[in-house]
Structure formats: structure tokens, C-alpha cells
Chains A and B, each alone.
Chain A
Amino acid sequence: MHELSVAISIVQSITDATAAEDHGQIAAVNVRVGAMSGVIPEALQFAWTPATRDTPLQGSELRVEFIPAAIYCENCSDTVELPGQRLVCPVCQTRSPRLVRGRELDILSVELQPESQHAS
């Protein structure tokens, strides 16, 4: 379950990035996970609760945007999205090592609780 390590890394990065000022309560975290990143979105969701416990992110929601893998196919002269993780063009069956998308493992943003709710 390396997703727990990954979830803890997310919590640390966000805690570091938001520590400087009081932003109020963090409601949600948006991340991007590529098909070839080695991280399973479901497992990451599962790890989120234990990873955020007793941190400023406790109770926040994790939103994962899944990015399917894509290769550049020499034969088709085009970037093609892959149905899975085999680097084989689904159009012409040519193999290509040129991965264009799919390795993403990024934090995008956090959503803060609206001020009115925060104040109440």
C-alpha cells in the first residue's frame, strides 16, 4: 500500500504550502493521477482518511482526476489515448515507447471553506 505514502506526501505538501497564513478550513484537495503513475485512485481514496487524521486536512475530501495514458504513434502520426497500460496503438497496433501522458502525480489546488461558514 504505497498509496498511504503518497497520501502522506500530499498532506505534507499542502500543510507546507498553506502554513504561512490562516486560510480557514480546507474542504477539498484536487489531485491528478495518471494511469502509468503506479497509483490506484481507489487505493489513494482509501488511504486519505488515515493520512489526514490529526492534520489540518482532517475531514477534507480528496478529488482525483484520472488521466488515461497516451502515446505518440509514429505510424498514425498522432497522439492516441490508450484504453489501458499497454503501449500499443489501439488504431494500428504499433508499439510506441513515446508516452505523452499517464505519468502524472500532481497536486492541483485546495478548496477552502467559504468565509461565512468559516466564521460561524
Chain B
Amino acid sequence: MPPESPTPASDSAVAKPRILEVRTQILKKNDELARDLRDRFRAAGCFVVSLVSSPGTGKTEFLKQTLIRLQERGGLKIAALVGDLRTDNDAARLAESGVDVRQIETGTMCHLEADMVERAIEEASWDCDDLDLLFVENVGNLVCPSGFDLGEDLRLVLVSTTEGEDKPLKYPTIFNTADVAVITKMDLAEVLEYDAEKMQNSIQDVRPGMRAFEVSAKSGQGMDEWIQWLTDQAS
């Protein structure tokens, strides 16, 4: 507080700025839309899983193998949305699994937002009532997607053995907002002298209690355990 120097209220030359309270969440619009989407999916009995990772994690191959295994098990109607900056390469690769796949072309956007998911479902003319499981692959980016709720039931973060065991510590926010982690490319663990305990510790430091699966989409290691866990969550 300044020393006593009373200013007459009439002295408009030194009028204080007026403060206008606008208390609101910055991402209110996205959060509300995501909530509506989540309600809609739940009412339709459709379980939604989103995937985030950095580029080169092997996310598309992992998702493709996941889709193939789920298809082999049968009994679930599955679809996938793939966010990609420009090309539809990933969507084409995923479609090889036999699952209905649509691309969300994000252009310059570095992350997906709830309205993009809503629009993509509309454009695909999918009836959520007919779907049991929907995958939403985010743009390869471990920073930007963290704050944007997409209405998913489960957010999966992928990290590969090639990225280093301290990766979760470098991107704590995305790991903290995820529900489950999958460590990919375990087939390379030995040649990389990958330290499994160190990776698990990094993950636990930023998201205590989170389950982290170790898999290789190439060799199939850990895939059965992951698929079993996922179908348990979705049922």
C-alpha cells in the first residue's frame, strides 16, 4: 500500500482501471463439447480410446496389430479415426486390418479437438449405436494434445524403447493426463540395452499408479495381455 495520499474520487485523470470479472475456464467450449460426446458414446454403448505419442513410436503399427487381434476375437464392431497433418498413409495402413477407418486431416493443427472428432463421425455417417469400440489416433505429438478432452473413455500414451527411458520425465503433462501407457518396440530392448525399470520409474514419477504395458507389435510380445486388459475395460 502507498503512504497516505488520498486521491479525490472526482479526479478522473488518475482513475484506476476498471476490473471486469470474467471467471471461466479457457477451454470451456472444448470441455463442454467433449462432455456431450462422452455422454453420447456412453448412451450408445461405444467405448472410446484415444492414442497419443511422438512421431516414430510405432503407433500406427501397434494400432493395426491391436485392430487385427480384436477382429480375430470377433464380437466387437470397431472403427478408427486417424488424425494426420496431410497424408492418409496411416489411415490406409490401418484399413488393412479390415476395420472401418477415416482420416481427420488436421492441416496445420498440431492436435485434435472435440469438434473435429464430432465432425469426422458425422462425415463418416457412423451410427454410434452400431459401434462397440472407437479408436481415435491423435496427431504424433506429445505436447499439444494434453489439454484437449476428446470425449474419450481411455487415453493411451505410447512411448517406444528407442526414445529413452526418461521420455516420460520430459513430457510429464501428457503422461499425467493419460490413463494407461504402452511401451512399444520391446523387440529392440536388448540391442538398445533398454532399462525397463528406469522406464517404469519415469512413468510412475509423473503418473503414480498408472499401468504400463510392454509390447512389440512386430514379435507379438505382450499383445495378448494388452488386448485382454483393453477388452476388460471396454466391456
Which of B12, B15, B21, B147 interacts with A39 by CB under 8 Å? Answer: B147
* Contact call A111/B19, Cβ cutoff below 8 A: yes
How many of A's residues come within 8 Å of B, CB to CB? 41
Which of B20, B169, B173 interacts with A36 by CB under 8 Å? Answer: B173
Total contacts A-B at CB 8 Å:
118
Task: Tell whether A18 pairs with B147 under 8 Å between CB atoms, given A38-B173, A115-B15, A116-B13.
Answer: no
- Chain A residue nearest to B146 (CB atoms) is A38
Q: Mark A101-120, 1 if CB is under 8 A from B, else 0.
A: 00001111111111111000
How many of B's residues come within 8 Å of A, CB to CB? 40
Bound-state CA distance A7–B154 (Å) is: 27
Chain A facing B: main interface SS: mixed
Bound-state CA distance A85–B109 (Å) is: 26
Closest beta carbon of chain B to A76's beta carbon, Å: 15
Q: Which of A40-97 contact B (CB under 8 A)?
A: 84-88, 95-97
Which of A12, A13, A88 interacts with B205 by CB under 8 Å? Answer: A88
Task: Tell whether A96 pairs with B24 under 8 Å between CB atoms, given A37-B173, A105-B147, A111-B18.
Answer: no
* Contact call A110/B29, Cβ cutoff below 8 A: no
* Chain A residues within an 8 Å CB radius of B12: 114-116
Bound-state CA distance A6–B110 (Å) is: 12
Of A84, A85, A117, which is in contact with the most chain B CB atoms at under 10 Å from its CB? Answer: A85
Closest beta carbon of chain A to B7's beta carbon, Å: 13
* Contact call B143/A2, Cβ cutoff below 8 A: yes
* Contact call A86/B205, Cβ cutoff below 8 A: yes
Stretch of B76-84, B94-102, B206-214 contacting A (4+ beta carbons < 8 Å): B206-214
Closest beta carbon of chain A to B28's beta carbon, Å: 7
Closest beta carbon of chain A to B60's beta carbon, Å: 22
Task: Tell whether A5 pairs with B174 under 8 Å between CB atoms, given A38-B146, A97-B209.
Answer: no
Closest beta carbon of chain A to B13's beta carbon, Å: 6
- Chain A residue nearest to B15 (CB atoms) is A114
* Contact call A18/B22, Cβ cutoff below 8 A: yes
* Chain A residues within an 8 Å CB radius of B137: none
Interface of B with A (CB < 8 Å)?
12-13, 15-30, 109-111, 113, 143-148, 169, 172-174, 176-177, 204-209
Return 28 A-B CB contacts under 8 Å, by A number: A2-B110, A2-B111, A2-B143, A6-B26, A6-B27, A9-B27, A9-B29, A12-B29, A17-B24, A18-B20, A23-B18, A36-B172, A36-B176, A37-B173, A38-B143, A86-B172, A86-B206, A106-B26, A107-B22, A107-B26, A109-B19, A110-B22, A111-B18, A111-B20, A112-B17, A114-B17, A115-B18, A116-B15
